Structure 1
Amino acid sequence: MNLRSSWVTETGQTREDTRLTQTGVTTMTNPVQVRSGVLPGSYGGQYRLSGFWTFGSAAMSVTVSEGRAVIQGEISQGVFPVTLPASEVVTFAPGNATYSRIDLLVLRVYDKLYDGGTRTEATIEIIQGAAEQSPKVPVVPPRCLPLYEVTVPAGASAGNGGIPWASSLKDLRTPVVALGGILPVEGAVLPGAYPGQYQDAGGALQRWDGGAWVSYPSALGSIIPNSASSTPASYTGQYRDSTSGRLQRWDGTTWVPVVAGPYFVDNRDYGDTTSTAYTSTLAGRITNPLTLNFVAPPSRAVVISFGAKLRSTSPDFYAYMALKLTQGATVISDLEDDYATVVASKHMVSASSTYRQSGLTAGATYTLTAFFRISATTPALTGGFDNTFIKVDPLP
């Protein structure tokens, strides 16, 4: 029978039995095997991962700090727990005269029952790479947990300054935690083993949904904080606090403001017209017409304000400014004197109008265009307009 157990049989419990039935410090990768890695933790709780931290302590030597780890063997071999109770110094071979190389600093387990050799022990050792013009990382043997990549420059030796540790050490350590524990992510982000597994990705708590790591705020339906605003959206309707301080909603394609607007456009150039019919072009202006696009909010209603400094050349006649509302080629609200801003004065007078526009289609884009006219052409009259503006405020 292949079923293994610990502390049941009176005699004959093997080392394999013990390794295969451990259920302590293990982050599962499948129903039988676990992830190889380093146990998290640090003195004083300041760092996520201090076990086996390595630093250059001499020209060609590093000091490997104390730590605990687990190393998964073959599926029938089980997992090997290892502990370094005190720091250890490891020395690298001198560099090649011509080319640099990449070495691996690893934790390695030898098991003669599987290796076919004579050793049965756990070691800290260096797997030396080949010196080449474009050096490659050496192949990792079985039952090996890489800790660091170390680039050894050409000609590096104790006599000429050794290895530049600040730039040569690449941390490869990854953490593991007890079954069911929240995994602190360091290094590569690996797939989860079961739906409902959690990991701390630094900026966000994430849950494995069976195919991807999903940020925890989305699972709750709460608002993603701006500290994690780079987190990808998980569903249409999700909200986040953007780095600009605006509340946004994921529409299935992009993040859009929850409350759009306000929308505003103005033209501070003076312009005039002698037309008694509404025209969108004013003489003397560089830019014509004055238009404003806006997106209708979920309430389907907005407040529209518009105005200008107006005058007519006679106080007995009127200068008009009115708006036309369109959606594409469709006119939604046409020009009407009753809703225009009107002034009868030969002096410039500031005037504006405000009204509510309802019945819009939520999410549709509309355009407001300003039109102008004078009430009569006899005698020769001119309507003057300056500081014209249009403003749209979406209603909640």
Structure 2
Amino acid sequence: MPVRSAWLINRTTTDSGQSRSDTRLAPTGTMAPSGALTSVSGVVPGSKDGRYMMDALYVYGDTAGMTANVAPGRAVVQGSPAAGAYPVVLTDYTQITFDDGDANNPRVDLVLLRVYDAQFAPVSGRTEAVLEILKGAPAPNPEPQPVPEGAIALARVNVPAGASVGTGGLDWSKAVYDMRHTTVAAGGILAESWNRDSKGGYAGQYRDNASQLQRWDGARWVSYPRHIGGVAPQGALAAGEYAGQYRDEGGRLQRWDGSVWRPIVPATGWAYNNDGGYCKSTTWVEAVTDTTGPSISAQFTTPVSGAVLVTVGYFGSNPVDGAWSKMTAVIRLAGAVVLPADEQRAAQATGKNGHSVVHTFRVTGLKPHTVYTAVGAYSSSATSNNAWVDNRFIRVDPML
């Protein structure tokens, strides 16, 4: 029967009593889970004076040569799901010695804390917990061997070609890369680890990444300050994590629309050209003739209201009295016209005497937090009338 208990019946009392695997599998002092029957392997955090995340099982070298030290500490090592999680302790400082480097190529070794259990892996013929060096294969660009089941990696050690005691050994300031990661009791907050790629064990688990509290949402770690309803601090997010998320960007609040960040309080759109040109078309055109800037356009982002005020203006004159020129703006979205030119939304300059004219009109019903473009449009009273327009501008102001 698969129902097994711990601390109920002692194995010495009856053959159906508690076994060692019963003790490991039963939820007594449950560590952070990684599955229904498995726990997160890792080092138990803590330091003597509380200044550091963890002192335990630190790998370091303090003398020239090929020998390193491993500090005492406690850890949990998950075996196979059937074997359970093994609590392991190293009670004293322990030395480990690396083989000499290959004559031609470097290699990468791993320092492991490993559990052998002949009950579940009879091929090994061993039942013990050990510190072990998993020697890598020499290569021009070496990679470490995979971490075996029933083991955790404490450090990665780079062994250069030709390294030996006779050549000065390893440069411990550069050779060791710390690979320890922490584990805590179920419901506890995982301490900062160098292994940032470790997945959470369940949705709702928390960890400290040294600067922020993060929550595992079932697929990734999400920093708590920028979780739903939070504002991400400056520099924390290149891309948003959900549509409607906000971030601080240089003191300006921005909203993630699902693909790009948009200013939550949009800036005024503006376009201007002070080189004069003329229009002789009796229908609306978006360019004038005889100028260095035939067309002008102002890009703008709509506010949450979807409403803006568009202002157009220019300095206009005509060859004869009674003739006129007009300017308005066409509103486009991704090139498509959403609001065409219309004389009721136009500024008009009539007659020979040059004068400035301005007109403002309201546009509503635009998509919030969306980039549009306002393009200048012009017309003349007759094809024979070279209607001059100068100092043209478009201004688009958000209506909040």
TM-score (norm 1): 0.80
SS at match of 2:38: coil
Structure 1 residue 150, shift from structure 2 partner? 1.4
Change (3 A) 1:205 1:341: farther
Structure-to-structure mapping, 1:10-49, within 5 angstroms: 12=12, 13-21=18-26, 23-24=28-29, 26-42=31-47, 44-49=49-54
**Percent of aligned pairs with the same residue?**
35
d(CA) in 1 for partners of 2:367, 2:129: 70
Change (3 A) 1:367 1:150: same
Q: Of the candidates 302, 305, 308, which is equivalent to residue 302 of structure 1?
A: 308
Which string of whole-angstrom CA distances, capped at 9 and with x for unpartnered residues, describes residues 129-188 of structure 1? 343455442354443221112121221012212223344323322211111112235315
Q: Which residue of 2 aligns with 1:252?
A: 258
SS at match of 1:286: coil
d(CA) in 1 for partners of 2:69, 2:374: 69
Q: Which residue of 2 aligns with 1:391?
A: 395
Change (3 A) 1:40 1:350: farther
Change (3 A) 1:132 1:371: closer
The gaps in structure 1 that reach 5 residues or longer are: none
Structure 1 residue 98, shift from structure 2 partner? 2.7
Q: Which residue of 2 aligns with 1:194?
A: 202
Q: Is the 8 A contact 1:101 1:152 kept in 2?
A: yes
d(CA) in 1 for partners of 2:356, 2:229: 48
2:179 maps to 1:175: no
Structure 1 residue 368, shift from structure 2 partner? 3.3
d(CA) in 2 for partners of 1:352, 1:63: 80
Which string of whole-angstrom CA distances, capped at 9 and with x for unpartnered residues, describes residues 103-142 of structure 1? 2111123445455567544332322234345544235444
CA RMSD of aligned residues (A): 3.7
Q: Which residue of 1 aligns with 2:232?
A: 224
Q: Which residue of 1 aligns with 2:6?
A: 6
d(CA) in 1 for partners of 2:139, 2:346: 81
Q: Of the candidates 93, 97, 105, which is equivalent to residue 99 of structure 2?
A: 93
Q: Which residue of 1 aligns with 2:292?
A: 286
Change (3 A) 1:306 1:46: farther
Structure 1 residue 310, shift from structure 2 partner? 4.5
SS at match of 1:192: coil
Letter in structure 2 aligned against 1:198: Y
Structure 1 residue 311, shift from structure 2 partner? 5.2
Q: Is the 8 A contact 1:204 1:228 kept in 2?
A: no
Change (3 A) 1:203 1:232: farther
Q: Is the 8 A contact 1:249 1:255 kept in 2?
A: yes
Q: Which residue of 2 aligns with 1:153?
A: 160
Bigger mean CA offset, 327-336 vs 152-161: 327-336
Structure-to-structure mapping, 1:105-184, within 5 angstroms: 105-114=111-120, 116=122, 120-132=127-139, 135-184=142-191
Q: Is the 8 A contact 1:292 1:390 kept in 2?
A: yes
Q: Is the 8 A contact 1:5 1:21 kept in 2?
A: yes
d(CA) in 1 for partners of 2:295, 2:62: 73
Q: Is the 8 A contact 1:274 1:383 kept in 2?
A: yes
Q: Is the 8 A contact 1:102 1:129 kept in 2?
A: yes
Q: Is the 8 A contact 2:34 2:40 kept in 1?
A: yes
SS at match of 2:391: strand
d(CA) in 2 for partners of 1:282, 1:134: 63
Change (3 A) 1:155 1:342: same
Q: Which residue of 1 aligns with 2:15?
A: none
Structure-to-structure mapping, 1:73-88, within 5 angstroms: 73-88=79-94
Bigger mean CA offset, 129-138 vs 103-112: 129-138
The gaps in structure 2 that reach 5 residues or longer are: 13-17
TM-score (norm 2): 0.79
d(CA) in 2 for partners of 1:176, 1:88: 22
d(CA) in 1 for partners of 2:138, 2:367: 68
Q: Which residue of 2 aligns with 1:262?
A: 268
SS at match of 1:184: coil
2:245 maps to 1:239: yes
Q: Is the 8 A contact 1:26 1:178 kept in 2?
A: yes
Change (3 A) 1:159 1:25: farther
Q: Is the 8 A contact 1:203 1:228 kept in 2?
A: no
Q: Is the 8 A contact 1:205 1:215 kept in 2?
A: yes
d(CA) in 1 for partners of 2:199, 2:136: 29
